Every structure is written in C-alpha cells, then in structure tokens.
Amino acid sequence: MSSGNPQDSSRERLRLWLRLLSTTRGVEAQLRERLRTEFGSTLPRFHVLAALSRHPDGLKMNEVSQQLKVSNGNVTGVVSRLVRDGLVERFAIEGDRRAIRIALSDAGQDQFTSMATAHKEWVNNLLSHISADTAHHMSELLAHLPNDPGEHG
C-alpha cells in the first residue's frame, strides 16, 4: 500500500492502469475470436449493431460515431458491409439530403439478439472466477474514474 508518498501513489496508479489495460485486452481478444469463429463477425460490427439495437428508430451516422467514440470514417465502412449483408437499412432523412439514418433490419435484430446472448455468456464465463459481489464492488470503484480522464487531470 501507498504510504501517502506522491511517488508511491503515482506508481500504484500506473500499476492499476497496466492491470486494467492487460485485463481489457485479454477479454477483448477472447471476444473478438469468438465473434469471428461463431458468428463470422468482428467486434466493430457487434458494437454498431449494439448501438442500433438501443435505438429502434435508427440513428444518423454521426450519432453512431459519437456513441462509439470513433470517427465517421470507421463507422462508414462497417455500416456499408452491414447494409450489404442485409443487417442494417439506410433511410433518407426528410429535409436533409446529405444525412441518412440507419437502423437494424429484422435480420439484423435477429443476428444481434443471438450475438448479444452469446456475448453475455462469454463475458460471464471469462469472469466467472469473480463473485457477483466482488464484480459489483469493482464496478462501483471503477465508476469513480472519469469517462474522459483528460478533463480531470
């Protein structure tokens, strides 16, 4: 434990960051592999489908980008492939010829439901060595971290 020494505090925060990063990368690698092998999909596709599943009326492309915290260019390629595969539909926005709204197709909703169910099970299995109480406590502790650390430091 830190003795209150600023250097010790800094070292502990660095250790925390490295642990979070390592754990996140490990879980993410497992999820990527399972999405690829079991659904022939990618994590970015899953994330776009997840964002759209929370908005049945659809979203503008820039809204998807904002929700996923990625560039419009990253979203455009993923969405184009999802449209090609029949999982997402594009709709013109009345009064704005440049903007389009995208939404899950029925097939996309079915695909996402299957993927989300599997994803939840995979995460549960990957973290099964952590009790529900410990997971809750860790989540509460992590909730103290800012969403954008650059704004607070």
Residue 3 has pLDDT above 70, yes or no: no
Report the number of distinct structural domains present in the chain: 1
Residue 131 lies in a domain: yes
> What gap in Å lies between CA 77 and CA 98, rounded to an integer?
17
Say which CATH number the domain at 116 has. 1.10.10.10
Higher pLDDT, 130 or 147: 130
> In the structure, what pLDDT confidence band is assigned to residue 28 with cuts at 50, 70 and 90?
very high
Pick left, alpha or beta for residue 53 (phi over 0 → left; psi -120 to 50 → alpha; otherwise beta): alpha
**pLDDT reported for residue 8:** 84
Residue 148 has pLDDT above 90, yes or no: no
Residue 150 has pLDDT above 70, yes or no: no
Residue 79 lies in a domain: yes
Residue 36 has pLDDT above 70, yes or no: yes
